[in-house]
Structure formats: C-alpha cells, structure tokens
C-alpha cells in the first residue's frame, strides 16, 4: 500500500518588493524588480506576476522573482499568484507604484 498525501492547503505568498507607494523614473530606471516570498506545506509549482491585470511573468524557480521593463510613465499595480503542485492558489498583497517621466533631479 502506498501512502497518499492530500494537499488542499493553498500556498502563502507575499510581494515583498517593490514597496507600496514607491516612485520610479522613466527612462532613468530601466525595470522594476518584483520579489516574492512564497511557500507551501508540500511543494510549490510556480508564481505568476501581474501588473494592472495582465500576467507579465511566470517563474518556477525559488526565490520566485521577476523583472518588469518600464515602458512608460504612469501608476501601476503589481501582485503575485502562487500555485502549489496540487493546483491550490493564493493571491498576494497588491502594491501600487508611480513611474514619473524624467530623472529624480528633473522632477524636483
């Protein structure tokens, strides 16, 4: 008889960077690094990163980080969704950042 593990517990996931309210400058800043902390009681499968409702990255390798190349100024909201090997999913906190045109010295 083989032991069977039933996994009905969703993973935990937190978007740890960037911080909510952070400001970036386009085109001075080339990208925004997205860092997560994702864990599961059995096995993680992947973490998907979203910006403004569009999936922008999928990673299957810890530490489950990604980059978004800044393409224009504006306000953007990021979050992550973690999936475990059993298909359970959980959404992270949402973080909103502002991308301003120019450089930090030009906007002051």
pLDDT of residue 5: 75
Q: Are 15 and 96 in contact (CB under 8 A)?
A: no
- Compute the distance between CA of residue 104 and CA of residue 96 in angstroms, rounded to an integer: 19
- Compute the distance between CA of residue 17 and CA of residue 84 in angstroms, rounded to an integer: 21
Element (H, E) at 96: strand 95-102
Q: What is the mean pLDDT of residues 75-101?
A: 97
- Rounded to two decimals, the pTM is 0.89
pLDDT of residue 36: 97
Whether the predicted pLDDT of 16 surpasses 60: yes
Domain ranges of the chain: 12-102
Q: Are 45 and 83 in contact (CB under 8 A)?
A: yes
Classify domain 12-102 at the CATH class level: mainly beta
Over the stretch 58-87, which tens digit does the pLDDT of each residue have? 999 999 999 999 998 999 999 999 999 999
């Amino acid at each position: 008889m083989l032991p069977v593990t039933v996994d009905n517990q969703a993973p935990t996931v937190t978007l740890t960077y960037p911080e909510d309210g952070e400001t970036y400058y386009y085109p001075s800043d080339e990208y925004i690094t997205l860092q997560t902390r994702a864990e599961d009681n059995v096995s993680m499968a992947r973490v998907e990163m979203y910006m403004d409702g569009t999936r922008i990255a999928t990673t299957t390798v810890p530490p489950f980080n990604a980059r978004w190349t800044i393409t224009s100024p504006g306000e953007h909201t990021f979050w992550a969704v973690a999936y475990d090997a059993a298909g359970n999913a959980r959404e992270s906190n949402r973080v909103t950042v502002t991308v301003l045109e120019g450089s930090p010295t030009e906007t002051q």
